[in-house]
Homo-oligomer: A and B are copies of this chain.
């Protein structure tokens, strides 16, 4: 019963349940949840009852099924509404994904790592699995370095000091070497990283224009290095067009 990751079990399960609902989009029985998510029945019952008591699920006692209430729908709605322009971001991702049919993702800085927060996969056979929540070393990975390029030199130095202090050695980096790369990104407006995290995998990443209160975001197109190299001009053009169309109007 060891917690494999560092998250509180109940917290993880709440979100697992909500995502399962998002996946199947219909009422679900206690049995189905406990089976699919592999929770003991009694634990699943306690969790779902809690969510009902709090008003986030509705229990249909006739069919013995649970279904999200509108409170769930409302919860994050404000993030989409104009203020943060996040619906524009989603449209951008959709657009690039539609045009290129490659892995398209949005990532942001989460402490000393870059973290994927939204991913659309390619329909092609050869692909690399990435899911929202996955993290990459800030100073090493393509998206991480692209995120860093938006910081001031002072901030970068400070972040790198912390990385070298607390992160495992494979995430360490020399400042001079890093700044050469960072300045390259600032000059080119994008980063093309190859074979860094996963052999044969690469990513073309661009820092998105900053919106108020929004954290800096990076748009990434990922895939096998050979495919990215072949399509590089097309990919860059598409990313630039998407950004111009959805984020600059």
Q: Mark A residues whose CB is within 8 Å of B.
A: 5-8, 10-12, 14-15, 18-19, 22, 25-27, 46-47, 49-56, 58-62, 67-80, 82-83, 86, 89-90, 106, 108-112, 115-118, 132-133, 152, 154-155, 158-159, 162, 213, 215
Contacts and interface: CB of A to CB of B under 8 A. Distances in A.
Contact of A70 (B15, B69, B117, B155): B117
Contact of A213 (B14, B27, B108, B112): B27
Contact of A25 (B67, B90, B213): B213
22 contacts: A6-B50, A7-B50, A7-B54, A8-B46, A10-B10, A11-B47, A11-B54, A15-B54, A15-B56, A25-B83, A53-B133, A55-B115, A55-B133, A58-B215, A60-B215, A61-B152, A69-B111, A70-B86, A70-B108, A71-B133, A72-B76, A75-B76
B111 A59 contact: yes
Contacts of A110: 52, 58-59, 69-71, 74
A247 to B, nearest CB: 15
Contacts of A215: 58, 60, 67, 70
Contacts of A90: 70
B27 A71 contact: no
A50 B11 contact: yes
A73 B75 CA distance: 7
B10 A62 contact: no
